Amino acid sequence: MDFYKMQGAGNDFVFIEDFNYNIKDECELAKKLCDRHFGIGADGLVIVRKSEAANAKMVIINADGSRANMCGNAIRCFGKYVYEHKITSGNKFSVETGDGIKEIEIILESNKVKYVRVYMGNPSYDGGDIPLNNIESLIQQEIKVNNNTYNITTVLMGVPHTIIFEKDREYNVVEEGSKIEKLELFKEGSNVNFVKVIDETHIRVNTWERGAGFTLACGTGCSAAVVVAKKLGLVDKNKEIFVLAPGGELIIEVLGEDVYMKGPAEVSFEGKTSL
């Protein structure tokens, strides 16, 4: 099996093509390939398939074998993959995901892919969409976990994201994020983003991803953090916001209810696997 290893701001993925639906157990394959000791190693497996609704179809499975509807860094890598492998023509095309059709724009510099810009869709605070357990919404809700108090806002940005702004202290992403992820508030768990506002156009985001753990960047998480920061008036409502994640920088733009993400995507290496 041929594979590509790709990363977007340090969030890494194994890419394989499966146009004829030969893969029988995608989730088990993801666990094997993503294992960093016995496999290739990655935060998730991305399967490239044909689509009847768009120019290509992206299937993403987390390292633990759980499925994800959407991943911002993965879809940027997917856009670069589809463009460079000539699966579609032109620098603007559509991708079918578990979160609907996403529009992709390839931004070139000296005929090479510099950025991939993705239409991320519209955020939702509705408890039924996220989904929450018998709660209409969670916006600046105070909760207590292990004697720690948090003000949380949860939004669906392709997948559920809980946003916590750092004020008096920095948070332990692994210890605190892993506990908040599994609160009974969330029917299907939640990604957790710890956000520091630097100035009106710059924020820092550290993310705990359900199914993957601490990752160097999360595209949907960075998008959700900007959406919530704008809603709460913590950053400029009319400008692009530069988001610094441990693995690199993403640029998020909100136009009305529409959210756009722009950032890098790179090929790390390619090879063959018998897993």
Annotated catalytic residue within 27, 34, 77, 218: 218
What is the pLDDT, as a whole number, of residue 125?
98
What is the pLDDT, as a whole number, of residue 271?
97
Q: Angle CA(235)–CA(256)–CA(194) in degrees, nearest 5?
A: 40
Give 10-residue mean pLDDT values along the chain (275 residues).
97 97 95 97 97 98 96 98 96 97 97 97 97 97 95 97 93 97 97 98 97 95 98 98 97 97 97 90
Q: Which architecture, in CATH terms, is 141-258?
A: Roll (3.10)
Instruction: Detail the DSSP E strand segments found in 98-212.
Output: 100-109, 112-121, 141-145, 148-157, 159-165, 191-199, 202-209
CATH superfamily, with its number, for domain 2-121+263-267 = Diaminopimelate Epimerase; Chain A, domain 1 (3.10.310.10)
What's the rounded Cα separation, in Å, for the pair 16 and 18?
A: 7
28 is in an annotated binding site: no
11 is in an annotated binding site: yes
Annotated catalytic residue within 34, 71, 77, 222: 71
What is the pLDDT, as a whole number, of residue 169?
87
Q: DSSP state, 157?
A: E
Of 72, 4, 17, the closest CA to residue 212 belongs to: 72
- Please check whether the two domains, 2-121+263-267 and 141-258, share a CATH topology: yes
88 is in an annotated binding site: no
Active site residue 71: yes
Does the global pTM surpass 0.85? Answer: yes
List the chain domain ranges: 2-121+263-267, 141-258
What is the pLDDT, as a whole number, of residue 273?
92
